[in-house]
Amino acid sequence: MNPSPLHHASRAILAAFALAAAHAQAATYVVTAYSDGKDMSFSPASLTIYQGDVVTFKNGGGLHNVHADDNSFVCAIDCNLHTAPSATAWQVSRQFNRLGTIGYYCDQHGNTTSGMRGSITVIDRVFVDGFDAVAATRHAGTD
């Protein structure tokens, strides 16, 4: 038996509501660039977030910036003109809408393969498997 047009319309409406509710729950996470004299690092070094969430990158001390492996962003004081590593107490926010994993590094202390690096994995908030495990990972990266 074929579903009626009303059945298809109802499913489309439910999907639209689920997507709208998902975007209403967008969260902001903080990744801090640190240097304690010996260790240059981003904390947390890896983060799993939902599509549409925001990550605020902060300089916690030292000469740093944040540079995406795919060059989709290079930020320090801002993400436009002042992108070189800076020792000021900068803070920039980026919304992540593309699914997948994006690596990033500090130009002063790392590169696309080694050194001061981090990664953000962006997952679909509506169709995610293993929700409990993902939720635990997400909360570990909040400040």
Percent of the chain with pLDDT over 90: 65
5 in a structural domain: no
13 in a structural domain: no
Does 67 have pLDDT greater than 60?
yes
**83: domain range?**
26-140
91 in a structural domain: yes
- Of the listed ranges 51-65, 88-102, 125-139, the least confidently predicted one is 125-139
Percent of the chain with pLDDT over 70: 70
Give ∠ CA 101-16-95 in degrees, rounded to 5: 30
19 in a structural domain: no
CATH of the domain at 128: 2.60.40.420
Residue 110, pLDDT score: 94
36 in a structural domain: yes
Tell me the whole-structure pTM to 2 decimals.
0.73
44 in a structural domain: yes
CA atoms within 13 A on the CB side of 107: 14
Total domains present in the chain: 1
pLDDT band at 143 (very low <50, low <70, confident <90, very high): very low
86 in a structural domain: yes
